[in-house]
Structure 1
Amino acid sequence: MPEQENNFPNAGQRKKCWDARDAYFECVESNGEDKCKELRTTFESSCSKTWVKYFYRRRDFEKYKKTIEYEGFKPVNENEKQ
């Protein structure tokens, strides 16, 4: 899909991208990133660069949000920094 960076993906291309994303993120959750390199390559080659960037950022935000929900917000104490 990278060659069509300026075009909108059709339904088949979107499905291929989403399926590759889901497979990669499921693998990472279950096995860690080291064991999912091939799925990462498939994911990144099936989606446009902007989509890949968005999906990574969204995943990071969702993980952060889940941490805040379970552990609560912990502000940094300025005195502890030093």
Structure 2
Amino acid sequence: MAPRKEWTEWHLTPRGWEKGATRVHGEGNTWVEEPLDRALSFVYQELESGSPPEVKKWAEETWRSKDAAKVEALLQLYGACPERL
């Protein structure tokens, strides 16, 4: 079985978590501009490989505003990065 790697960018904004660019296995990448008012960005990834298939899932921070108070306030309001594609 060929490995499957998919990912979704998530951006924390004053409106909550917004979906950004994505990669879907067999369909390629879809690029979306980052919101100008984002405070924090993560990429959530899923990698499926092996036989029997094993799925590894993780989120990785890719960008953070220098305004730490804004980041913390939005995290308290909207919670952690979504763990979904």
TM-score (norm. length: structure 1): 0.26
Structure with a larger share of its residues in helix: 1
TM-score (norm. length: structure 2): 0.25
> Greater Rg, structure 1 or structure 2?
1
Structure with a larger share of its residues in strand: 2
